[in-house]
Amino acid sequence: MLHTVVNISTSYGQEQCEELINEVTILEERATNAYNRMNFQQSTPAFYQAADLYEKINVFPGCSKIPLPFNPLVKADKYREMAAESRAFELFKNAKIQYTAGENFGRNQQWKEATKAFEDAAITWEYAAELTTHNENQKKALQSAKQARDLAKRAAIFHE
């Protein structure tokens, strides 16, 4: 009788593992689709959730009984990197909006506001550069941050 309970428990654990795998597959698809649509506010948390689920799959007892077609820790690392990249792209977009606001303030000779907008853009691009794992994106973000800082300095001079 005890043996039967163990078998049911093992089977139940495997079923839970399969449910986790189905859940992470749906999350992967949602995150990838959002990322491809450049909806980074949606893709970033979905990638983080997928990474968390892969880590859960890695330690879940029911999953150790099933031959998995992937290494859960490798997948978790991949999706943490994708989440960081997605967040960086979201920051790139925000920095561009801040930069454009700085340009508009400058055109209207609102130098104090222009200075703040350019400074905010520079800070945002610098943070994006820290998050991105691609060297080319990092270079672009740092170049944009430098340009925004230079314009902030110029606007500050006009403000004085």
Give the model confidence (pLDDT) of 40-91 as tens digits: 999 999 999 999 999 999 999 888 878 888 899 999 999 999 999 999 999 9
Output the pLDDT for position 143.
96
> How is the chain split into domains, by residue range?
2-86, 88-159
| Helices (H), ranges, 37-134 | 40-59, 72-107, 111-131
pLDDT beyond 50 at 32? yes
pLDDT at residue 11, as a whole number: 62
Fill in the amino acid letter for 45: P
Provide the whole-model pTM: 0.79
CA distances from 40 to 23, 33, 45, 82, 103 (A): 20, 10, 9, 11, 25
Distance CA 24, CA 72 (A): 11
pLDDT band at 37 (very low <50, low <70, confident <90, very high): very high
Phi, psi (deg, nearest 5) at residue 108: -90, 10
Furthest CA-CA distance within the chain: 86
* pLDDT at residue 5, as a whole number: 32
pLDDT at residue 1 is higher than 50: no
- The CATH number of 88-159 is 1.20.58
